[in-house]
Amino acid sequence: MKRVLFFAALLLSWSLSASAGTLYRGEQTLWQDTVWQGEVLIDGVLTIAPEVVLEIRPGTRISFTFMDSNGDGVGEHEMFIQGRLHAVGTEDEPVVFTSAESRPFSGAWGAINMMMSEEDNVLAHCVLEYGYRGYHAHFSRVTLVDCEFRYNTRGLQFQESTVTMKRSRVIDNFNGMQFRDSNVVIDQSFISGSYWGLRCLYTDLRLTDCVIEKNAINGVHLRDSTLLAEGNRIVGNRRGLYLQRSRAEVRGNQIGGNSEHGIFLEKSELNGTHNRLTGNGRSGIRWLNSEGILRANDLSGNGTYAVINDGNTPLDATGNWWGTADESLIGGLVRDGSQRPGLAQVFYDEALTAPPIRLPSLH
């Protein structure tokens, strides 16, 4: 009888109303639609079964205890979503996913994992902090709006997924975002303070009106991917935009103040127009065995060179602003086959006589 009463009490503690606090301990699964509001503590791994909807209301705080069974320093308690997640906070009352530790640290809990969750998952006005991977998905679909990912080992990581992120912040993570084999739209978002800002592989990425700054290595790094980048400010990274075996339409961006190169292309294809590529430490653009054109860009005021061609394919850079229209002076801003036999040329005739665009200052 005592044993029956004990288990009855334990089940009751797991089904407390959210206002009084909800506890999930050990390996638990939600088998029916559930609503959270208030304080939720996850002391284990919680699975949301296929076709089940978890709704999280404004002001809810979901905390994860720390468990490290293999001694690698990474917390293992997390959520595993096969159904649908609808976590919608407000500006004043965000939904918070965080560590239950009194002194939280990066990697104190696992992740919000989605697997085969192809319904319309939504996270709006959410904060995800101190996880190993704040948001992590495979074969899933999600819209992220007005969210903040901070102090995680990886802010976001996903594969084979469709992700739309708007007006969100990815700040002060060890790595900001990494993904592959996905379709991704990032709009009006801020990515800063990480080792890698954004890197992706085999992905179709649309990047618009974002600020990507102060990341230690690359602001944006694509391999074997396609990119449309428009209206972004990519500043203060080591390399601003790094393309490897990728195709990119890059127009109307401010790419400056990066310590090495504004744009670095390896075996890639670029159509770059109306960008402000100024104030980069080594060059505005480094071109290596790539194809494409540069038109109507501001290439003035870079550190060592405006353009470097270190490959065997020519670069058509006619019709740009170099800070001067004097071709004899422009020649000193270009490193190509003229100085290094065996390398291809940069063509810079028809230079503009004034900056072609009036973008806001980089500072």
Please check whether residues 223 and 362 belong to one and the same domain: yes
Q: Any idea what DSSP says for residue 355? A: -
Residue 279 to residue 345: CA distance in whole angstroms: 23
The answer to whether 187 and 209 have CB atoms below 8 angstroms apart is yes
Q: Looking at this protein, which amino acid is placed at residue 296? A: A
Please check whether residues 202 and 347 belong to one and the same domain: yes
Domain count, the chain: 2
Q: Which is nearest to 242 in space by CA: 275, 282, 279, 287?
A: 287
Residue 236 is part of which domain span? 195-363
The answer to whether 245 and 227 have CB atoms below 8 angstroms apart is no
Condensed to tens digits (0 to 9), the pLDDT of residues 204-253 reads 999 999 999 999 999 999 999 999 999 999 999 999 999 999 999 999 99
Domain assignment present for 39: yes
Residue 330 to residue 352: CA distance in whole angstroms: 11
Domain assignment present for 4: no
Please check whether residues 321 and 215 belong to one and the same domain: yes
Farthest CA pair distance, the chain: 96
Domain assignment present for 238: yes
Burial annotation 165-200 (CB, 10 A radius, 16+ → b, else e) = bbebbbbbbbbbbbbbbbebbbbebbbbbbebbbbb
CB neighbour list of residue 260: distance below 8 Å, 6 or more residues apart: 238, 239, 280, 281, 282
Q: Looking at this protein, which amino acid is placed at residue 24? A: Y
Q: Which is nearest to 246 in space by CA: 221, 271, 230, 268?
A: 268
Please check whether residues 28 and 153 belong to one and the same domain: yes
Please check whether residues 50 and 134 belong to one and the same domain: yes
Please check whether residues 168 and 208 belong to one and the same domain: no
The sign one gets for the Cα dihedral 133, 95, 53, 13 is positive
The answer to whether 165 and 187 have CB atoms below 8 angstroms apart is yes
The sign one gets for the Cα dihedral 47, 88, 142, 216 is negative
Residue 186 to residue 155: CA distance in whole angstroms: 14
**Strands (E) located in 68-168:** 78-81, 84-88, 95-99, 109-115, 121-124, 126-129, 131-138, 141-145, 148-150, 154-159, 162-166
Please check whether residues 36 and 123 belong to one and the same domain: yes
- Report long-range pairs for 203-207 (Cβ below 8 Å, ≥24 apart): 203/179, 207/232
Please check whether residues 226 and 351 belong to one and the same domain: yes
Domain assignment present for 259: yes
- Report long-range pairs for 224-232 (Cβ below 8 Å, ≥24 apart): 225/200, 225/201, 229/253, 232/207, 232/208
CB-count burial class (<10 Å; 0-12, 13-18, 19+) for 15? exposed
pLDDT beneath 70, residues of the chain: 1-20, 357-363
Domain assignment present for 189: no
The answer to whether 55 and 30 have CB atoms below 8 angstroms apart is no
- DSSP per-residue letters across 46-69: EEE-TT-EEEE-TT-EEEE----S
Please check whether residues 104 and 233 belong to one and the same domain: no
Q: What is the helix, strand, coil percentage profile of the chain, to 5?
A: 5, 50, 45
Residue 198 to residue 219: CA distance in whole angstroms: 6
Condensed to tens digits (0 to 9), the pLDDT of residues 116-173 reads 988 889 999 999 999 999 999 999 999 999 999 999 999 999 999 999 999 999 999 9
Please report, to the nearest 10 degrees, the dihedral formed by the alpha carbons of residues 326, 332, 335, 339 taken in order. 110
Please check whether residues 215 and 360 belong to one and the same domain: yes
Please check whether residues 201 and 334 belong to one and the same domain: yes
Domain assignment present for 190: no
pLDDT at 7: 40
Please check whether residues 241 and 152 belong to one and the same domain: no
Domain assignment present for 68: yes
Question: Which three-class secondary structure state does DSSP give residue 30?
Answer: strand
Please report, to the nearest 10 degrees, the dihedral formed by the alpha carbons of residues 309, 314, 318, 321 taken in order. -10
Place of tokens 């293999």: 70
CATH of the domain at 274: 2.160.20.10
Question: Which three-class secondary structure state does DSSP give residue 331?
Answer: helix
Domain assignment present for 9: no
